Amino acid sequence: MAAPSYLLGVDVGGTTVSTQLVDAALRPVYELTVATDVSSPDATLESIAVGIERTLVEARAGGRLAAIGVGVPGQVDTANGVSRIAVNLHWVDYPVAACLQQRFGAPVYLENDVRVAALGVHRFDNPSQIQDLVYVSIGTGVAAGVILAGQPLLGRNGLAGELGHFIVEADGPACNCGAHGCLETLVSATAVVRLGKAAGLGAQAGRSLTAKDVYDAAAAGDAAAQQIVDMVGAKLGVALRNVLLAYDVDEIVLGGGVTRAGPRYLEPILAEWARQRAASAFARATLTPDKLRIADPRRNMGAWGAVALAARLSEPKIRRI
């Protein structure tokens, strides 16, 4: 009798590394989160390795590790498993896949983290089995993963879905990319915090303001917070209309910490869509509320997406077991 086979998904962020171990039938076995040490490029890799090792040890799952999928921020050379640039991880042309494969003896597949999360939504959070969707991650920045005909859209330079750097206000706030008025400077969690501080929110709280604080304050009736929430939702609503038209997908799925506000997060976006529908027959036909939802908050879509990546690229091997 063959030993059981497992897949491991790894979501790498600037703060934490999250893992998800599954069996050959893609059933969850164990998950873990460890801190990311970003003091050096090698320290970052060691954080990933520690997360993988602890997962395998603590799961006590005897068997063969068939493949590891890894989602990392920034630009990725998927063919060679190299992180071309990940600013927060201090990686430039870093051979992530080769290093991990040598250490763990299993094939390692590397991809951009948001594109990986889109794979996770497509495979594990897709009750209608939609084959054309866009997953939009809204956190410190804004980025998207595009799935068309069930396949991830990469783009010539691996930049498909970088909507956070769509310039939407030429005279808007400065962006870390060097431009002004990029979408993420207006609607990201970072932008919400900046706007909240400018409005005097949280000044007496004795701790750092978060985007969640702003949404909670709006829900509690704070007029300044509600104005921020409505403004951010309206700008995002316009951007998501453009995404919907650019890719002609059946669904846009929103994820990221700030979306855990749930219906409170969706309401101002849908209000902007309703405003556009009232003024345009074209918008009435295209901007329907069923095309927008929030990803399942119970799953770490980054880690599950890395599982989907490993499964997608190694399934022929798994089926032979």
CATH tag, 5-118+300-319: 3.30.420.40
Tell me the two tokens of residue 293: 């939802």
CATH tag, 130-294: 3.30.420.40
Q: In the chain, which segments carry CATH 3.30.420.40?
A: 5-118+300-319, 130-294
How large is the average pLDDT for residues 299-319?
82
Which range among 68-77, 214-223, 306-315 shows the weakest confidence by mean pLDDT? 306-315
Question: Which residues are bridge partners to 174 per DSSP?
Answer: 180
Strands (E), 2-150: 5-12, 16-23, 28-35, 64-72, 75-77, 82-86, 91-94, 108-112, 133-138, 142-148
The residue among 260, 292, 253 whose CA lies nearest residue 273 is 292
Q: What is the pLDDT of residues 266-278, one digit of tens each?
A: 999 999 999 999 9
Residue 25: burial class (beta carbons within 10 Å; 0-12, 13-18, 19+): exposed
Look up the pTM and report it.
0.90
CA atoms of 109 and 309, how far apart (whole Å): 7
Q: What is the pLDDT of residues 166-185, one digit of tens each?
A: 999 989 999 888 899 999 99
Q: Is it the case that residue 89 has pLDDT exceeding 50?
A: yes
How many CA atoms within 13 Å lie on the side-chain side of 156? 0
Residue 11: burial class (beta carbons within 10 Å; 0-12, 13-18, 19+): buried
Q: What is the pLDDT of residues 136-152, one digit of tens each?
A: 999 888 999 999 999 99
Distances from the Cα of 18 to the Cαs of 32, 48, 55, 58, 109, in angstroms?
6, 9, 10, 14, 16
- The predicted structure's pLDDT at residue 276: 95
